[in-house]
Structure 1
């Protein structure tokens, strides 16, 4: 099964490429710069050069599933957040639809489905970030794709445990990026995760079991 990962050069994106390869998928990593291609190949993926802010049709053609794991990053301003986290995500969703691919997995954020004033309080940058994530999520939910929207808590570089807690809303906590990546991969072929949006943090339930309980 061919799986495209947008944002493949990011921390979570690289884990997705690695874990997809280890699970005998055929991962393809979308990157923006020529010098990023070697790392994707080293992880077992096939690099594809593209920019989410332009035409991405060639990246999704022939894929069986698409994963959005891109982000503007904490060092950029609100304009870039809009361009990547909302418009870039929607651009990729549209391309996925146009090429008849059914499965789309979105990496969102805890709080994107909640009251933004309550979640972000006086942090205008965080409020804008969550708003852009929400609008991308809502666009995806309006399509006929078999989507899964994953909204993790604080991302860490700790070793994964493969044990998580999932629900429409969970108490804020942290979760290793490795467990987020493994959850997104497990959602590719778990029908109970289709047409679902859920928050997740570290917990006590194995990933596969947690998805079946949604």
Structure 2
């Protein structure tokens, strides 16, 4: 499976590209927004497209051509205003869904945020971010794509332990980015995650087994 990683230069995206490069099942294409980012991936032998989520749907669709799946790991980041949250985390995600439909890609994994599906659980300081995630996820669920929505807890840069907890309603917790990336990798072909959304934190069940229990 050839996988387009949207947001490949981010911390999650880089971890996922690394895992996909080492996989015997998959190949990877990185979508980034800057030429210097593209050069770094090209040096690793990774196919890359320089495309912004603020570009047209047709441009994102062109980046996705030839791929079989899309993983959306992009985000506007903490240091931008809520205008970018709207343009990247909401509209950028929706345009990527539309692009997948345009070129006939069915498999789509969205990285969301823990409890994004429950308004009463949103962090009051980050409401615009959660609004963006909530509606992007809703639009993906209403599409014809074979989706998986992963809602991770607080992301940390600690080494992964390979064990997770998944559920529809987890109030809090954290997970290493490495384990999130591995969960995405396993979810690509784990049919039990198809048409499902779930919260994700560190737990005590090996991640491949945990995904079969969703």
**Which interval holds the TM-score relative to the shorter structure?**
over 0.9
Task: Identify unmatched segments of 5+ residues in structure 2.
Answer: none
Instruction: Give me the CA root mean square deviation.
Output: 1.1
Task: Identify unmatched segments of 5+ residues in structure 1.
Answer: none
Q: Which residue of 1 aligns with 2:147?
A: 147
Instruction: Please tell me whether the aligned partners of residues 27 and 45 of structure 1 are also in contact (alpha carbons under 8 angstroms).
Output: yes
1:46-92 CA deviation, whole Å, 9 max, x = no partner?
11110111121111111110000000000001100000000000000
More displaced 10-residue stretch of structure 1: 44-53 or 158-167 = 44-53
1:104-156 CA deviation, whole Å, 9 max, x = no partner?
0000000211124x4223x2xx0110010010000000011110000000000
Q: 1:69 aligns with which of 64, 69, 73?
A: 73
Instruction: Please tell me whether the aligned partners of residues 8 and 40 of structure 1 are also in contact (alpha carbons under 8 angstroms).
Output: no
Instruction: Please tell me whether the aligned partners of residues 115 and 170 of structure 2 are also in contact (alpha carbons under 8 angstroms).
Output: no
Q: Which residue of 2 aligns with 1:49?
A: 50
Structure 1 residues 1-214: aligned runs within 5 Å:
1-24=1-24, 25-54=26-55, 55-116=59-120, 118-121=121-124, 123=125, 126-214=126-214
**How big is the shift at 1:162?**
1.1
Q: Paired residues, what number?
A: 210
The TM-score with structure 1 as length reference comes to 0.95
Which secondary structure does the structure 2 equivalent of 1:110 belong to?
Answer: coil
Distance in 2, Cα, partners of 1:177 & 1:39: 21
Distance in 1, Cα, partners of 2:128 & 2:18: 31
The TM-score with structure 2 as length reference comes to 0.95
**How big is the shift at 1:44?**
4.9
Distance in 2, Cα, partners of 1:39 & 1:108: 26
Distance in 2, Cα, partners of 1:138 & 1:69: 17
Which secondary structure does the structure 1 equivalent of 2:80 belong to?
Answer: coil
Distance in 2, Cα, partners of 1:49 & 1:148: 25
Distance in 2, Cα, partners of 1:137 & 1:29: 22
